C-alpha cells in the first residue's frame, strides 16, 4: 500500500490567510485544539467588527456580495465571508466561521466549524465540530460525523494515537481535500492536503496527503 506523510499538525494541513484566525492557527499544534475557541473568536470579532462587513442581524457578521437564500437559517454567532453563497435550506447552528467565496448548500447543516477560503459543501452535508481547508470540497451527501456512539473522548489514529480530550470532533479536511459523494468521515478523521476520497467511503483515522483513498486497504499515490 502506498505510504505518504500522515499529517496531523496544523502547519502541515492549512495555510490560513484569514486575518482574525491566523493567531489561533499559528498557536495550535493540532487543528482540533481550535474547535473549543471558535465561539470566543467569533464573539471577539463581533465586538471589534471587520472592515467591509456589516451586521445581518444581532450576532451575525456578513461580508460584501454575500448571497443568502430566504429559506436559509442562521443562528448566531456567525461570520460569513465576502462572496459566499448560502443556498436554500442551509442551517447554520451557531459558532460558524466561513471564509470568502464559499458555498454552503441546500439542506446542509453547519455547527461549531471553520471553513477557510473557497470551500464547497453544496448538497446535503453535515459539518459539525470540523475544520475545512482552502478549496476543500464535500460531495453530495457526505458527512462529518462528530460524536462516537459510546460518547467517549475522541482519539486521532495516525502514525500514533493522539488523545484529544474532546468528545466531539468531526472532519479535519486539509487544503484541497476532496470528499466523494455519500461518504462518511468517522469522528476525528483527518484528510491530508490534495487528497481525494472515493464516493461511498467510510473513512477512519488519518489519510495521507497527496493520495487517493479507495478503501482502507487501498490508498494510492495521487499522480
CA 210 to chain centre: 18
Q: Does residue 1 register a pLDDT over 90?
A: no
Residue from 14, 1, 9 nearest 119 by CA: 14
Percent of the chain, pLDDT > 90? 94
Bridge pairing between strands 161-163 and 155-157: antiparallel
Residue with cell 467511503: 201
Q: Which helix (H) or strand (E) holds 46?
A: helix 38-48
pLDDT at site 129:
98
Q: Does residue 38 register a pLDDT over 70?
A: yes
What is the rounded CA–CA span in Å between residue 175 and residue 204?
18
Reported as a single tens digit per residue, the pLDDT across 135-181 is: 999 999 999 999 999 999 999 998 899 999 999 999 999 999 999 99
pLDDT at site 8:
96
pLDDT at site 5:
74
Burial 62-77 (b: 16+ CB within 10 A, else e): bbeebebeeebebebb
- For residue 11, report the phi and psi dihedrals to the nearest 5 degrees: -65, -20
- Mean pLDDT, to the nearest integer, of 71-84? 98
Domains in the chain: ranges and CATH: 10-221 (2.160.10.10)
Reported as a single tens digit per residue, the pLDDT across 99-114 is: 999 999 999 999 999 9
Bridge pairing between strands 218-221 and 211-215: antiparallel
Q: Which residue has the higher pLDDT, 126 or 159?
A: 126
pLDDT at site 2:
55
By three-state DSSP, how is residue 195 classified? coil
Reported as a single tens digit per residue, the pLDDT across 187-220 is: 999 999 999 999 999 999 999 999 999 999 999 9
What is the rounded CA–CA span in Å between residue 105 and residue 21?
23
Amino acid at each position: 500500500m502506498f505510504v505518504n506523510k500522515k499529517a496531523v499538525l496544523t502547519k502541515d494541513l492549512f495555510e490560513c490567510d484569514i486575518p482574525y484566525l491566523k493567531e489561533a492557527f499559528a498557536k495550535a499544534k493540532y487543528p482540533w485544539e481550535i474547535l473549543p475557541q471558535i465561539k470566543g473568536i467569533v464573539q471577539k470579532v463581533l465586538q471589534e467588527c471587520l472592515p467591509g462587513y456589516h451586521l445581518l442581524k444581532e450576532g451575525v457578521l456578513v461580508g460584501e456580495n454575500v448571497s443568502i437564500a430566504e429559506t436559509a437559517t442562521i443562528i448566531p454567532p456567525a461570520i460569513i465571508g465576502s462572496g459566499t453563497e448560502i443556498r436554500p435550506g442551509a442551517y447554520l447552528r451557531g459558532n460558524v466561521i466561513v471564509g470568502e467565496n464559499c458555498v454552503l448548500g441546500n439542506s446542509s447543516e453547519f455547527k461549531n466549524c471553520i471553513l477557510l477560503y473557497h470551500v464547497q459543501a453544496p448538497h446535503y452535508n453535515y459539518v459539525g465540530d470540523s475544520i475545512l481547508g482552502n478549496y476543500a470540497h464535500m460531495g453530495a451527501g457526505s458527512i462529518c460525523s462528530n460524536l462516537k456512539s459510546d460518547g467517549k473522548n475522541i482519539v486521532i489514529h495516525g502514525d500514533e494515537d493522539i488523545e484529544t480530550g474532546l468528545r466531539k470532533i468531526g472532519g479535519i479536511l486539509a487544503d484541497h481535500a476532496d470528499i466523494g459523494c455519500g461518504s462518511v468521515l468517522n469522528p476525528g478523521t483527518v484528510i491530508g492536503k490534495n487528497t481525494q476520497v472515493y464516493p461511498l467511503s467510510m473513512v477512519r483515522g488519518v489519510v495521507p496527503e497527496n493520495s487517493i483513498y479507495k478503501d482502507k486497504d487501498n490508498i494510492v499515490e495521487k499522480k
